[in-house]
Amino acid sequence: MQILKGLYQVGGDINGITFDQPGALWNDGNSYILKTSSGLLMFDCGCGDTMDQIFNNMKYWDLNPGEIKYCLLTHPHYDHAGGAHLLKKRGVKFISIQETADAVASGDERCCGYLYHKDFHVVTVDQVVKDRENLNLLGLEIEVMHLPGHSMGCTAYSFVTEQKRIVVSGDVIGTLLKGDFGWDGSIDFDKRIYIESLRKFAKVDMDIMLPGHGMIYFHKPRHRVEEVLNSALMQWR
């Protein structure tokens, strides 16, 4: 699905872009591709079982999977990072916050393979980034925002393309058809830390928010973040 010129959603089962198993609407998180003149940037890579579908979706938009240079992970959960080992074999370099890098290198419960009755294939992150770090990848400036809570590795990435401020938010905001928050069953889920991350995120201006599941927020995405912060403050204190 084309979002803007050069920006695409190529994976995600809630809105039918990819499909893993009948009745499983969260096995495959959203994955996105940004096309630059120097190659492709990917944000999250799904569970792995749908990689062929992701590649087919890319080819529909004349995007060559062989031109993916980097994949930036929003967090280590299986539905977002389970396909990392497949891309790694193709020479894709991975970028993440330290907490996510540690989790995917171990493949332990922080990756939540148990939730899907599958083993997480470990992978080494090539470049570890920090909160508020500014990256220059393929000529694009990307700001890193560490927003732990749903998992300790939760990270959002902010950049400008086509004169729009885009934020790839992962599972910081609940997008599983209902509720305000990312799944609370993660072994490193923390409500107190989550609230502080939402307070931080609610101050971020953006034009479009690309979530970890479900539909994209084109209209006043910051309002949605503020609503989630309000819910957290009412329910968790």
Number of domain units in the chain:
1
Here the CATH number for the domain that contains residue 31 is 3.60.15.10
Can you give the residue range of the structural domain that contains 111?
Answer: 2-235
Pull the structure tokens for residue 173: 């905001």
Residue 195 · residue 233 · CB < 8 Å: yes
Count CB neighbours of 13 within 10 A.
24
pLDDT at 18 (0 to 100): 92
Residue 17 · residue 10 · CB < 8 Å: yes
Q: Which residues of 37-72 are buried (b: 16+ CB within 10 A; e: fewer)?
A: eebbbbbbbbbbbbbebbbebbeeeebebeebebbb
pLDDT at 23 (0 to 100): 62
Query: pLDDT per position in the chain (237 positions), as tens?
Result: 999 999 999 999 888 899 877 666 678 999 999 999 999 999 999 999 999 999 999 999 999 999 999 999 999 999 999 999 999 999 999 999 999 999 999 999 999 999 889 999 999 999 999 999 999 999 999 999 999 999 999 999 999 999 999 999 999 997 665 668 888 888 999 999 999 999 999 999 999 999 999 889 999 999 999 999 999 999 998
pLDDT at 187 (0 to 100): 93
pLDDT at 25 (0 to 100): 61
pLDDT at 19 (0 to 100): 83
**CA gap 14, 17 in Å, rounded:** 8
Task: Identify the H or E element spanning 221.
Answer: helix 221-235
**CA gap 159, 100 in Å, rounded:** 21
pLDDT at 185 (0 to 100): 85
Pull the structure tokens for residue 30: 């959203």
pLDDT at 15 (0 to 100): 84
